Structure 1
């Protein structure tokens, strides 16, 4: 089976025409949601880490 660059390029162009690209607004909203969820997860895990750390310090009476 031989590689045919021109046929490949035509098929890629055809497939690219079929792609439904998001609008600028959809991209911005999705990006904002990703940043918001990442921030919420970071805050959540920070709080949980602080609570667990406090519990360990109280349990072993270290650093209080």
Structure 2
């Protein structure tokens, strides 16, 4: 009886740890995508600003930022 309870607790703990690891990995991917989209918006704003002012666009800003 007690051994069964310990086995259930251990299985539940392992499942919880696995679920948390999966959620953390998913959240890191989501955060990376959000960050990339923010950086791309900022890059586009800078390019637009450079066009308005007639300043040549630096080569590092010509590469789009992938999601």
- Verify same fold: TM over 0.5: yes
* 1:33 CA drift (Å): 1.2
Give the secondary structure class of the aligned counterpart of 1:35. Answer: helix
The size of the alignment, in residue pairs, is: 44
What's the counterpart of residue 52 of structure 2?
59
Higher RCO, 1 vs 2 (CA within 8 Å, ≥6 residues apart): 2
* 1:29 CA drift (Å): 0.8
Which of the two has higher C-alpha Rg? Answer: 1
Task: For structure 1, list consecutive stretches of 5 or more residues without a partner in the other structure.
Answer: 1-20
Runs of 4+ in 1 over 4 A off after TM superposition: none
Select 2:26's aligned residue among 33, 36, 42. 33
| TM-score computed with the length of structure 1 as normaliser | 0.59
**In 2, distance between residues paired with 1:46 and 1:28?**
27
What's the counterpart of residue 6 of structure 1?
none
RMSD: 1.7
